Every structure is written in structure tokens, then in C-alpha cells.
Amino acid sequence: MKPVSLTQYLVELQREKGLIPGELRLLLEVVARACKRISLAVSKGDLADVIGAAGSDNVQGEAQQKLDVIANETLLEANEWGGHLAAMASEEMEGFYPIPHRYPRGEFLLLFDPLDGSSNIDVNVSIGTIFSVLKLPEGVTEPTEENFLQPGTQQLAAGYAVYGPSTLLVLTVGDGVAKFTLDRETGSWTMTGNHLRIPEDTKEFAINASNIRHWEPPVRRYVDEMLAGKTGPRGKDFNMRWVASMVADVHRIMTRGGVFMYPRDAREPNKPGKLRLMYEANPMAFLVEQAGGAATNGLQRMLEVQPTQLHQRVAVFLGSKNEVERVTAYHQEQAGSAPS
């Protein structure tokens, strides 16, 4: 059967199903092209001057890697002139980036973590790009930061690229989740999966277990029960994985199920978690739900969290539906709120 390209998939979504406007198709193709360029830079590794620290910190106070800066600039440069965006926001930039007045502006907002998991770059472990698309509120001519603060249910599209043994692009516009593999010989994204499904049950969980002494009781209870294995309350043995690269851990779950957790912990009790809501948790939650999984912040559906800050952090529990519901119920029991 003739392979389906990303362009063909998007044209069908636009023309056959009327699911996306032409401008959104253009946006997704531009982002996909930028991810191709990021993949090329990542794959050069030590052969090019792209490994190591950039000598600067990002808005999160984290030391930027050279590739963080390259990936961010690649996405800005690819998207600023096309006329499909009003503004962009990135983990690597404190403020949002309004499209310069020298270019036409469109109706979409693009948010991204340009290179997630960059602490893995120098050890050659999979890393990725995460992106989310929102619509500029009607009637807004000059975008503001508040325009970005929309709950995840408002996303029009979301996706990630994972730069691993192969480079993959996984995306949704709300019509299920499609997967594309970068064909380096032709330079095209070729569909290698569609309507991805996450099994509702799993035997695999992902959490940074070195933080166990900092966890809140519901997380401790949930993980201890799994560690108790066959003879414990779960009646089965579990396996653990932690790549410390959200895109890699989430892609494993999109492929074979599992539950990913980055809970808040006692190290910094005023921080609700490590991961960011707008350009990590929300796009991943949209994808996971579209694949039949679930995503919460421990107490409520992730996509319904009302953002208050562009770079706000959130606790993340996502993956196989029955497991996310269980760990969320434990949190709700502790909070004394009836399961929603």
C-alpha cells in the first residue's frame, strides 16, 4: 500500500473531514518541518558544536544546553513569518513572543517545549519537542499573555517529536492520534500508525523513585501496592521504567500502555510539581485522552485545570485509564473529595 505522508493525512483531515482549517494544516506542517531540522541538529551530536551548556539559564533557572537554544530558535524562525500565528510561547523564554509586525498575523497561538529532556543530550538518550496549539480569543488584535491562559480542553492540536533510534512525530487534532516516522532518505514524515490506543490496564509504571521519601501519602500508597506485587493488594507484579525524558516515557505509554507520574513532593511544597502545564502536561494529556488514556493532576482532569501563569507547574499522572483513575481516587480520598 502506498505510504501516507503527513501532508496527505492533514489534507484529508482538512478536505475530507473538514476537521481543520487550512491555516492549522499549514501550522502543523511548519512545526513538523522545524522538528525535522531539530532532529538533524540532535543527530550530529559531538560531530557539531551542539553538545554541552549554552552558558545561559532559562526562565526556569535551569542551565540551557546549546541544543535547547538551537531548538527554540528553529521553532521561532520557522513559524514567525508564515502568517498563521498571532504569538508563540516557549519554556525557554520568559515572556511570550508576539509575531513581529513586519509579518502578517494569524489566529493561532503556538506553545512548545523545544527540547524536553535535555539533561539526556550528552548521554545520547532520547529527547523530544512538545507542542500545543490554541486559538487567539475572538476580537483580540494585540495578543497578551492572558490569551494563552486557556484550559487544555481548548487545544486545537497537540503533538510531540521524539528524537530516538528513529525520529517520530505523534500528533492529534482531536480525531485520534497519528504517528509518523521521519524517512531520512526522502526527508518526509511517513505515517506508521493511526488511532493509537493505550491499554486501560498495565503492569508498568514510570516515576523517579529516588524521591520516594518526599512523596505524599496517596502516591506512596499507590506505588507501595504495586511494589508488593502478586502477593500484595494488586495481585500482580509490576515493572518500572524511568527515562527522565517525558517524551520518551510518554511515547512508551502511547505504544504499550503504562502510567507516568511526576507528583508534587515535599522538597518544595509550594511547587505543585516539576512539569509545566501549558506546554508539557496539557499537550500530553490531550494526546493520551485521544488514545483512550487519562491524565490528571492527582485531583482533577488535567485538561480542565484553569491556568493562571504561562510557566506554571503541575503534578502529572497520565496513561492507562484504570491506573490513573486509581491513583487519582487515592488523592481524592485523602483530600476528602468524592471521586469526580
Whether the CB-CB separation of 179 and 191 falls below 8 Å is answered with yes
Whether the CB-CB separation of 191 and 180 falls below 8 Å is answered with yes
Taking the complex as a whole, how short is the minimal distance between the CB of residue 81 and ligand P6P, in angstroms?
Answer: 30
Q: Which is nearer to ligand P6P, 69 or 275 (CB)?
A: 275
The span from the CA of 87 to the CA of 106, in Å, is: 9
Q: Which is nearer to ligand P6P, 58 or 167 (CB)?
A: 58
How many helices (H) and strands (E) in the chain?
7, 17
Q: Give yes or no for residue 218 binding ligand P6P (CB under 6 A).
A: no
Q: Which of residues 36-75 bind ligand P6P (CB under 6 A)?
A: none
Q: Give yes or no for residue 119 binding ligand P6P (CB under 6 A).
A: yes
**What angle separates helix 22-44 from helix 66-79, to the nearest 10 degrees?**
150
Q: Give yes or no for residue 153 binding ligand P6P (CB under 6 A).
A: no
Q: Give yes or no for residue 245 binding ligand P6P (CB under 6 A).
A: yes
Establish how many alpha carbons lie within 13 A of residue 331's alpha carbon, considering only the half-sphere containing its beta carbon: 22
Q: Which stretch binds ligand P6P (CB under 6 A): 115-123, 145-153, 195-203, 305-313?
A: 115-123
Q: Give yes or no for residue 246 binding ligand P6P (CB under 6 A).
A: yes
DSSP state of 188: E
Q: Which stretch binds ligand P6P (CB under 6 A): 25-33, 111-119, 156-164, 307-315?
A: 111-119
Taking the complex as a whole, how short is the minimal distance between the CB of residue 50 and ligand P6P, in angstroms?
Answer: 18
Q: Which stretch binds ligand P6P (CB under 6 A): 13-21, 22-30, 74-82, 238-246?
A: 238-246
Q: Which is nearer to ligand P6P, 70 or 85 (CB)?
A: 70
C-alpha cell at 145: 499573555
* b/e sequence 61-78, b meaning 16+ C-beta within 10 Å: eeebbbbbbbbbebbbeb
Q: Which is nearer to ligand P6P, 53 or 244 (CB)?
A: 244
Whether the CB-CB separation of 175 and 289 falls below 8 Å is answered with no
Q: Which is nearer to ligand P6P, 30 or 130 (CB)?
A: 130
Which H/E stretch holds residue 318? strand 316-319
Q: Which stretch binds ligand P6P (CB under 6 A): 165-173, 229-237, 240-248, 304-312?
A: 240-248
Taking the complex as a whole, how short is the minimal distance between the CB of residue 275 and ligand P6P, in angstroms?
Answer: 6
Q: Which residue has the cell 509504571?
A: 205
Distances (CA, A) of 325 to 233, 240, 298: 16, 19, 9
Q: Which is nearer to ligand P6P, 80 or 91 (CB)?
A: 91
DSSP state of 174: S
Q: Give yes or no for residue 117 binding ligand P6P (CB under 6 A).
A: yes
Q: Give yes or no for residue 312 binding ligand P6P (CB under 6 A).
A: no
Q: Which stretch binds ligand P6P (CB under 6 A): 77-85, 114-122, 264-272, 299-307?
A: 114-122
The span from the CA of 318 to the CA of 324, in Å, is: 6
Q: Which is nearer to ligand P6P, 81 or 242 (CB)?
A: 242
Which H/E stretch holds residue 324? helix 321-335
Q: Which stretch binds ligand P6P (CB under 6 A): 13-21, 25-33, 239-247, 318-326?
A: 239-247
Distances (CA, A) of 264 to 154, 214, 220, 276: 25, 9, 12, 12
Q: Give yes or no for residue 209 binding ligand P6P (CB under 6 A).
A: no
Q: Give yes or no for residue 263 binding ligand P6P (CB under 6 A).
A: no
Nearest to ligand P6P by Cβ — which residue? 246
Tell me which of 244, 268, 304, 335 binds ligand P6P, using CB under 6 A.
244
The span from the CA of 6 to the CA of 28, in Å, is: 9
The span from the CA of 56 to the CA of 19, in Å, is: 41
Whether the CB-CB separation of 127 and 247 falls below 8 Å is answered with yes
Which residues contribute to the site for ligand P6P (CB under 6 A)? 116-117, 119, 208, 244-246, 262, 274-275
